[in-house]
Structure 1
Amino acid sequence: MTAVKEAMRRPLGQFARRSVAGLAAVTGAGVAFGMLLMLVRLHWGPLYHADHEAAEWFNKLVAPHHALVTVLRAITDLGGRPVLIWLVTIAVVGLLIRRQPRLAAYLIITGVGGGILDPTLKALVGRLRPVVDVPITQAPGNSFPSGHALGSFVAYGALLLVFLPALAPRWRRPAIALVAALVFLIGLTRIALGVHFVSDVFGGWLLGVAWLGVTAYAFRLWRRERGRPVPPISEGLEPEAGEEISPAPDEEHVLEHPRSSAAELLVGWVLVLGAVYAFGMVVSYHAKGTVLDALDTRVPQWFAARRTDPLNDLSWWWSKFGDTHAILLVSLVFCPLVLAVGKRWRPVLFVVLAMFGELSLFLVTARLVERPRPPVEHLDGRLPTSSYPSGHIAATICLWSAMAIIVFARTDRWWRWLFVALAVIMPVGVATSRMYRGMHHPTDFVGAILLAAGWIGLLCWVVRPNADVRPGACWPGRRPAADRPAIGPARMHESANAGREN
């Protein structure tokens, strides 16, 4: 009996010790943030001078190097609101798809709380941003605390706590180190770019430690109250959910023969490039006096003669559906969702290869052909690439076609036809808007179709994006094969027997 009591008390004692240590760390971070806040608010002399000297030193170090500034801006964007909101939103939707509402609620509460603390404290403190000799970049609002430092600490830290159980034990420490390095670099870039003082960044980190610690402690208390074991925080918030939240727990090989597949893709890429390049050279420099030449001349002029302000605005918006930002945004939403639903990497690989292949084929072909834009007013101004082929149209065809191919095979619900319709409507709309705005000839559209059709067809043959679709393993809404009406000889035999019995 004594041994049983000891066994029951041991987990409680471990939880108590870990809780005391965790609360001490969180309390320490909160107290340190409060002291730093008071020093900033009271304009304490030593802190004021140290902050300004550091801002001037970083400005002299960074401002002359444009390449370094570009790298710093790329890193700092990883801590911006758009990226963090996208990460948390996709994670929440994925967790809900995997039936993990508790973890999804934790991410929502933690993220929303961090988003509220940042502007609230900035408004209360009212500290102005640094003023440096050579401004590198600008940021709106006040300075203390750093929103990037706070947001990155909270968002990446919460995501780490949630998804840590999905990682193999040997990868957990590297993952923690990677997140810590990323959060540190994001904070450092805010100082180096001259938009925050050192104390702003430290304040954001301290507040991030406090808020993340409070929410994690609350989650662990919730588990304890419901009689669930509370493991060390190094194992994540909910270790038993590791298999469910793993991206593809039951997938061993994405491609059966990766080396031969890579070789086939390389050879196919060269062949597609050759076909697109040959057609581009013909229509650009060897089609004078032909029907294609007349088409490329008259269609842009016809559009230019019918321009109006409302159509200019409409074409601008529709054209944006095919630019890099829109294509990247749709890809970054679709790929995590299809991974969350299907638990397979193959469709994600298909989409990624489709977009990278399209981009490389477009850039190389545009560089080789160097076709001038149509001889009409260009509403989008001067662009760095040539007219042939249309990158907007090729990217739109590849993306929406790839999504339609994946979705159509994985569900038999009516909405799969929406993806098929969008795979037609989106490219046609983008092509019309690009020709209306005087940026492309009709044969540029044809070249984009040739590029997209060749590359997507090659990927379907090599990658086989739907080869992992097995009976009974389809998306929600699609009935397993065992539940569908049988067809073929077996069904006919059953019908014949039923007829004889009657």
Structure 2
Amino acid sequence: MGAVRDVVRRPLGHFTERTLAGLALVLGAGVGFGLMLVLVRVRWSPLYDVDHGVAQWLNDQVSSIGPLVTVLNAITDLGGRPVIIWLVTVAVVGLLIRRQGRLAVFVIVTGAGALILDPTLKTLVDRLRPEVDTPISTYAGQSFPSGHALGSLVAYGALLLVFLPAVAPRWRRAVVALVGLVVFLIGFTRVALGVHFLSDVIGAWLLGAAWLGVTAYAFRLWRLERGRPVAPLTEGLEPEAAHEVAPAPDEEKLLPHARAGIAEIVVGWVLIFGALYAFGMFVSYHAKDTFFGTWDEVVPTWSAQRHTPALNDLSWWWSKFGDTHAILLVSMVFCPLVLAIWRRWRPVLFVALVMFGELTLFLATAAAVDRPRPPVENLDGPMPTSSFPSGHIAATMCLWVAIAVIVFPRTDRWWRWIFVALAVVMPVGVAISRMYRGMHHPTDFMGAILLTAGWIGLLYWVLRPNEDVHQGNQPTIESEEVDTLDDELAKAGRAD
């Protein structure tokens, strides 16, 4: 019994030693935020002068440089609510799939706390946003604290603590520095874009650090209560979960012959572009008296004669399934699920290259062929790209066919046929809606089919995205149950 008590006391002693400094930092951040809050509320003159001076000076430097404003807006979006919610949701779902419930709870509680603190404090303080000579961006709501700065520090910090054990020790400092740089740049953009004062950002960072420190400390207490050894935060929240939180721990090598594969993809891209260009030029300018020319003339005219308000609304909604936002959303949900369930990077690389190749082939072919839209009413108005091939149809087809290619051989459940059906129904529905709305000829649809068949066929041949299934070593998502208290005490003893 004495040995067991010693095993328990040693982690407790180490826990106390390791957390005193951390508690001091958390307390300091909380006190600093409280002081900043008071100074903002009483409108302390020196702080007021610094805030307005910095806001105006940065506005003078930034507002006249268009490319810089574009970059700042792109960086600031990394701290926006859509991105933060996506990151937290994907992380929580992945952790639950990997049966890491405690870590999932930590991410949920930490993220939810930030979502509650931000609007609550904004309402209580009720500070107006900066007014600068040349407004760049506009945001509704109050100013203090900065929601982007608070959310980015809490979300990226929480994810860093959760997934740090999966990072090789030699890279951990670099990863921590990168996360810190991203959080800093997001905060900087809020001031540079003229939508927050400097004190809004500093106050948000102090509050975020305090809240993240409180939740991390509570998680460590939770571990201690369960008899788990307490490691320094430089090793992450749960070091023994490194294998489970790693995106693809069961994949030894992504591609066996990377250089040859890259060369094959580049040559294949050029050949597919050549085929698309030849077919596009033929149907656009040399097929007037052929079946293709007749079809391209009859179908748009027939569709335009049958426009009704109900069908117009239905076609508008259906065509939205093929726009950039919908395609990106589905991709950003599917790829993390593939990593969480099957622990392989190659299927993710396959989907990413499918969509990247589709985009580049579409843009290059559309610019080269430069086909005008059908000579009927275009319900979507002027478009920046030409008619051949259809980008909406090609993107929809490539995405859903790629998903079906990945999912179908990896399960024998009945629902795999749903993905096969979606690979047919989604592109056909988008194609019908685009032609009904007068935006594409039928041969534009054929061009999308040619693009999809050639590009996905090439990538499937080069990447072999389902190689692990064919070799019979497909990973499962099963993991061991939580260790018993005796095992944890033994581990604690060995660690010391």
Name the TM-score, length of structure 1 as normaliser: 0.93
Task: Encode CA deviations 1:379-416: one digit per residue, 9 max, x unaligned.
Answer: 21211111000011111111100000110010000110
- Distance apart, 1:83 and its partner CA: 0.4
- Distance apart, 1:465 and its partner CA: 1.1
- Distance apart, 1:266 and its partner CA: 1.2
The residue correspondences of 1:335-414 to structure 2 (distance < 5 A) are 335-414=335-414
Does the Cα contact within 8 Å between 1:411 and 1:474 map onto a contact in 2?
no
2:218 aligned partner, one-letter code: A
- Distance apart, 1:250 and its partner CA: 2.3
Secondary structure of 2:250's counterpart equals: coil
The residue correspondences of 1:240-251 to structure 2 (distance < 5 A) are 240-251=240-251
CA distance in 1, matches of 2:288, 2:5: 94
Over 3 Å counting, the alpha-carbon distance change for 1:476 and 1:145 in structure 2 is: closer
CA distance in 2, matches of 1:268, 1:5: 67
Does the Cα contact within 8 Å between 2:347 and 2:465 map onto a contact in 1?
yes
- Distance apart, 1:10 and its partner CA: 3.9
- Distance apart, 1:288 and its partner CA: 1.4
- Distance apart, 1:7 and its partner CA: 6.7
Q: Percent identity?
A: 71
CA distance in 2, matches of 1:5, 1:427: 65
Does the Cα contact within 8 Å between 1:410 and 1:475 map onto a contact in 2?
no
Match in the other structure for 2:431: 431
Match in the other structure for 2:283: 283
CA distance in 1, matches of 2:156, 2:195: 22
- Distance apart, 1:309 and its partner CA: 1.7
- Distance apart, 1:474 and its partner CA: 5.6
2:392 aligned partner, one-letter code: H
Segments of 5+ residues of structure 2 without an aligned counterpart are 479-496
Secondary structure of 1:344's counterpart equals: coil
The residue correspondences of 1:437-452 to structure 2 (distance < 5 A) are 437-452=437-452
Does 2:146 align with 1:139?
no
- Distance apart, 1:6 and its partner CA: 6.8
Does the Cα contact within 8 Å between 1:411 and 1:475 map onto a contact in 2?
no
Match in the other structure for 2:460: 460
The residue correspondences of 1:213-292 to structure 2 (distance < 5 A) are 213-292=213-292
1:230 aligned partner, one-letter code: V
2:91 aligned partner, one-letter code: A
Secondary structure of 1:321's counterpart equals: helix
Match in the other structure for 2:102: 102
Does the Cα contact within 8 Å between 2:97 and 2:477 map onto a contact in 1?
no
CA distance in 2, matches of 1:240, 1:476: 17
Segments of 5+ residues of structure 1 without an aligned counterpart are 478-502
Name the TM-score, length of structure 2 as normaliser: 0.94
Secondary structure of 1:271's counterpart equals: helix
Match in the other structure for 2:486: none
Does the Cα contact within 8 Å between 2:153 and 2:209 map onto a contact in 1?
yes
Match in the other structure for 1:495: none
- Distance apart, 1:8 and its partner CA: 5.6
- Distance apart, 1:185 and its partner CA: 0.1
Number of residues paired by the alignment? 477
- Distance apart, 1:9 and its partner CA: 4.1
- Distance apart, 1:171 and its partner CA: 1.0
Match in the other structure for 1:68: 68
The residue correspondences of 1:43-82 to structure 2 (distance < 5 A) are 43-82=43-82
1:464 aligned partner, one-letter code: R
CA distance in 2, matches of 1:313, 1:132: 42
Does the Cα contact within 8 Å between 2:342 and 2:477 map onto a contact in 1?
no
Task: Encode CA deviations 1:74-131: one digit per residue, 9 max, x unaligned.
Answer: 0000000000100110011111111101101110111011100000000000001011
Match in the other structure for 1:111: 111
Greater relative contact order structure (CA < 8 Å, 6+ sep): 2
Secondary structure of 2:297's counterpart equals: helix
- Distance apart, 1:468 and its partner CA: 1.2
